């Protein structure tokens, strides 16, 4: 398996991964990816793919959001989305993508990475409950356990407060869970 930065020519393959991996939500996630991609620069954010025999089988994105800390706004990263082609699940591809991304981000001035996800999966990378670390989730629609954070060496104790998602997450209504019956 080869892990590398996404190239412009990977765009359709990456869309296809999210369409297959996220089922009914696939096209919404693929659209989110297309918007988030525009916010990534060589030094800010990451879009990584996993490749096997020249086929793109997994994708992860890290993009900038803000932490509304008492002292000032702090630039943080959000891991979203992560997906692996269903026929390649449970072979360590998702884990390899996340670990590779975290290694790259650890060498940048990034203090914190946040995500929404299953703690049963993300705890293996060191993510723990965001609320317990002094952070507030950006929406009440995110289940408590799902809001997770990972501190990097650049983290400082005054960096507490509310995670404010970047605008694309709101534009694509990709925050938390909706309750159509509410």
Ligand X SMILES: CC(C)(COP(=O)(O)OP(=O)(O)OC[C@H]1O[C@@H](n2cnc3c(N)ncnc32)[C@H](O)[C@@H]1OP(=O)(O)O)[C@@H](O)C(=O)NCCC(=O)NCCS
33 binds ligand X (CB under 6 A): no
**Strand ranges in 29-177 using DSSP code E only, listed in sequence order:** 46-52, 55-68, 73-84, 112-116, 128-129, 135-136, 147-151, 161-164
Among 1, 121, 131, 139, binds ligand X (CB under 6 A): 121
Instruction: Report the candidate in 98, 86, 122, 106 with the shortest Cα–Cα distance to residue 155.
Output: 106
111 binds ligand X (CB under 6 A): no
Among 82, 102, 105, 174, binds ligand X (CB under 6 A): 82
In angstroms, what is the minimal distance from the CB of 106 to ligand X? Answer: 19
Burial class for 142, CB neighbours closer than 10 Å (0-12, 13-18, 19+): middle
83 binds ligand X (CB under 6 A): yes
Can you say how many angstroms the Cα of residue 118 is from the centroid of all Cα atoms in its chain?
12
In angstroms, what is the minimal distance from the CB of 134 to ligand X? Answer: 22
89 binds ligand X (CB under 6 A): yes
153 binds ligand X (CB under 6 A): no
Among 3, 22, 26, 51, binds ligand X (CB under 6 A): 22
Distance CA 164, CA 37 (A): 18
Binding site residues, ligand X, CB under 6 A:
21-22, 81-84, 89-95, 117-118, 120-121
């Amino acid at each position: 398996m080869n892990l590398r930065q996404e190239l412009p020519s990977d765009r359709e393959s990456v869309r296809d991964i999210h369409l297959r991996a996220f089922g009914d939500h696939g096209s919404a996630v693929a659209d989110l990816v297309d918007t988030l991609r525009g916010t990534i620069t060589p030094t800010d954010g990451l879009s990584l793919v996993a490749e096997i025999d020249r086929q793109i089988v997994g994708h992860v994105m890290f993009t900038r959001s803000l932490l509304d800390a008492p002292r000032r706004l702090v630039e943080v990263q959000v891991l979203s989305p992560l997906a692996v082609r269903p026929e390649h699940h449970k072979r360590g591809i998702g884990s390899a993508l996340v670990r590779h991304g975290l290694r790259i981000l650890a060498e940048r001035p990034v203090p914190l990475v946040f995500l929404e996800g299953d703690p049963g999966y993300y705890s293996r990378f060191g993510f723990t409950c965001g609320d317990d670390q002094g952070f507030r989730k950006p929406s009440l629609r995110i289940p408590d356990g799902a809001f997770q954070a990972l501190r990097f060496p650049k983290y400082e104790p005054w960096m507490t407060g509310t995670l404010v998602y970047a605008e694309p997450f709101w534009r694509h209504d990709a925050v938390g869970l909706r309750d159509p019956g509410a």
